[in-house]
A and B are shown apart, each in its own frame.
Chain A
Amino acid sequence: MPDITQSPLPTPTIPSHFIRRTGDEPPVQDAPIRAKRRPQYGQIVTGFVAIALLVLFIQSQAQNPNMEWSVTWEYMFNPVVLQGVGVTIQLAIFAMLISIVLAFGIALMIQSTNKVVSVIGRAYVWFFRGVPMLVQVLLWFNLAVLFPVILGQDTNTLISGFTAGLIALSLAESGYMAEIIRGGIISVPTGQTDAGVSLGLTRSQALARIVLPQSIRVIIPPTGNQFIGMLKATSLVSVIGGSDLLTRVQLIYGQNFKILPLLIVGVLWYLILVTIAGTGQHFLERRLNASQPGSRRSAKTTGTATTTNIRTIIGGALWRK
């Protein structure tokens, strides 16, 4: 120990609670005194209670004769059910893709300096976001009442339950997506447009080439949420016989009256789909954060290759460089 009294510097006054007393010394000399967090007793207790309740619930339901788990397992991988799962996935993906394309157009319309075009865009969002999805599904399915013949074809053969559902889901979703995309566009500082325009771009070129590519990173996370919502919203199509998962499950229990076991089949499949989509979203967002130009991970650890990759995949696919 250095002798403090020999020190040329005046001894600083140390608050008394800061002075190490004998017995406080850590095992290794001059090592910092370790500090431990207070134990989380509450968390331990709730953990035990929650596990106990869950076990009780599962046990009671596993032994509940009305649940008929054997029926659930029997139909879980039934080809009819699996086809339904396929239709649900298709509906969700196609409706999402169509709605994103529509929404880009609508968002640009709303942001337009042309006030008429802007009002039309707003009216579109107002209607398709305002009318419940279920009502929209029914409206499109009953289109034949308004227009019995479309393009020289019988409307009812042209618009099946699947197409009516696809159109309704796409349009309803495009109202929400338009607002998400508009939010992304607004999130890019106006200075970016100023800079682009100062170089000699027109305002619309600056929007397409400078602002939109930078808005993508704001648009993607909520779009993931919307897709998960869409996976579930496809079940609305069951009211018009859209041949999706729920339609088929209902079809089966309509015949064998095993209502609950078959609804559980539906529950399990929806949870599986949502879990897969949620995991995908998680990784996409992580990748997006990692590739953020300037984030510490991007340049130094993951390398600029990833950065450029994501940028070209997302940006390049939509806007030619």
Chain B
Amino acid sequence: MAQVAPAGTSTDTMLRIDGVHKWLGHNHVLRGVDIEVRTGEIVCILGPSGSGKSTLLRCINHLDPVDGGVIEVNGERVGYQLHDGQLYEQSERRVAKARQHIGMVFQHFNLFGHMTALDNVTYGPVRILGRPRKEAVASARQLLAKVGLADKDDSYPSQLSGGQQQRVAIARALAMEPRLMMFDEPTSALDPELVGEVLQTMRQVAEEGMTMIVVTHEVGFAREVADRVVFMDQGRVLEDGPARKVLDDPQHERTASFLRRVH
């Protein structure tokens, strides 16, 4: 019997998505997606709604199970283990542990409504990583200062604007010291005037060398910050290449027409 190949293909591969399929009911949402992201790389995923971008992110940290294919983060499979050529879903506890190293920022922020901004940021480090509270509070304050919300640590999410909430959400994800940060349309639910402050925060995170996957409609951000742009349509990767090349000289008519409409 063929033994399992060593997980990571090369040491600097942070994320490997290999032939991932996903059905939602009768809907074939992901039809064999292959993407590789190297450590420190910033990849923007563009595509029309319903193209499977968000589902792909949810599959990466196993919020949604896949129906086939392999996803590895930092050389470790997320949510599954391989036995005799078949993938078996792991226990909740092991999946939860694997997710600790993958930060996720949601379209609708999803800050914990019953906690202050500071508690939102310290919750993971204290309750999940078991860090001493004092230490966690100190670094949470630093993170909040970094996202420009040093004075908001006592505010509840409902007292913050959308942009502020999203910046706290970014701080909450960073507090877990993730290896990979995923952003699921982080500015789509924001008033236009608040988009800039969130993109600015993301730019800052990018400059610190974080590996990032960003599902977005902000072509400007992709052009400026992304190393690579992936264009998805109908559950497939249509285009994958250096940001400027994909955005300025798309190979597919589908990509070109999408970019014309988004601009």
Residues of A within 8 A of B (CB): 189, 191-192, 194-205, 209-210, 213-214, 292-295, 298-299, 304, 307, 311, 315
Contacts and interface: CB of A to CB of B under 8 A. Distances in A.
B156 A201 contact: no
B188 interface: no
B102 A299 contact: no
- In terms of DSSP, what is the predominant structure of the interface of chain B? mixed
Q: Dominant SS at the A interface?
A: helix
Interface string B96-136: 11011011101010111110100000011001110000000
A70 to B, nearest CB: 56
Nearest to A195: B110
Contacts, number: 82
B154 interface: yes
A213 B104 CA distance: 22
A24 B104 CA distance: 64
Interface residues of B, number: 35
B99 A199 contact: yes
Contacts of A210: 112
B92 A192 contact: no
A191 B110 contact: yes
A203 B100 CA distance: 14
A194 B106 contact: yes
B106 A307 contact: no
B176 interface: yes
A198 B114 contact: no
Most chain A CB neighbours (cut-off 10 Å) among B61, B159, B173: B159
Kindly name the residue among B110, B116, B127, B158 whose own CB sees the greatest number of chain A CB atoms within 10 A.
Answer: B110
Interface in B138-181: 154-159, 169, 172-173, 176
Contact of B176 (A196, A199, A204): A199
B63 interface: yes
Contact of B124 (A199, A294, A315): A199
Given A194-B63, A299-B156, A299-B159, A209 B127 contact: yes
A203 B93 CA distance: 9
A191 B92 contact: no
Contacts of B92: 202-204
Contacts of A311: 114
Interface string B55-69: 000000101000000
Contacts of A209: 127
A53 to B, nearest CB: 48
Nearest to B95: A202
Nearest to A315: B114
Contacts of A201: 96, 127-128
A195 to B, nearest CB: 4
B93 A200 contact: no
A191 B159 CA distance: 19
A194 B110 contact: yes
A299 to B, nearest CB: 6
Interface string B176-204: 10000000000000000000000000000
A67 to B, nearest CB: 54
B127 A197 contact: no
A203 B63 CA distance: 10
- Chain A CB within 10 Å — which of B92, B116, B156, B173 has the most? B156
A200 B100 contact: yes
Nearest to A304: B154
A200 B96 contact: yes
A295 B114 CA distance: 12
Contact of B112 (A196, A295, A304): A196
A148 to B, nearest CB: 46
B113 A293 contact: yes
Contacts of B102: 198
